[in-house]
Amino acid sequence: MAVDTQHKYKLKKEDTVQIIAGKDKGKRGRILKILRVSDRVVVEGVNIVKKAKKRRNQQDRGGIVEVEAALHSSNVMIICKKCGPTRIGYKLEGDAKIRICRKCGEAL
């Protein structure tokens, strides 16, 4: 089965998002990483899991560490500075397409 990795994402790295489903519902954070193939995002300080890490050298500490795990992109909503969690729309300004808030129309 071929996976289409070229489809457009409305979310971008460094966007502030709110979690709308799951164990961390209501929490907010910045997007650290976007995994396009699996349609997931890693959000700072959210979906913390414990992971066993192997010691790589003398200075490195092995053991159990807490890291952020990926969430499905459908479980996050972008935050508008004016009106809170919202969907993303687009508006053409000259040659550029800018992202706007669907509620108030302000640029994201």
Mind listing the pLDDT tens digit for each residue in 56-76? 888 888 889 899 999 998 899
Residue 9 in any domain: the answer is no
Pairwise CA distance, residues 101 & 1, whole Å: 35
**Helix residue ranges, H only, 1-108:** none
State whether residue 55 is helix, strand or coil: coil
Secondary structure letter of residue 58 according to DSSP: S
Residue pLDDT, tens place only, 1-51 = 555 555 677 888 888 999 999 888 999 999 999 988 888 999 999 999 999
Task: State residue 73 phi and psi, 5-degree precision.
Answer: -65, -20
The residue segments making up the domain with residue 72 are 16-80
Number of domains in the chain: 1
Residue 101 in any domain: the answer is no
The model's pTM: 0.77
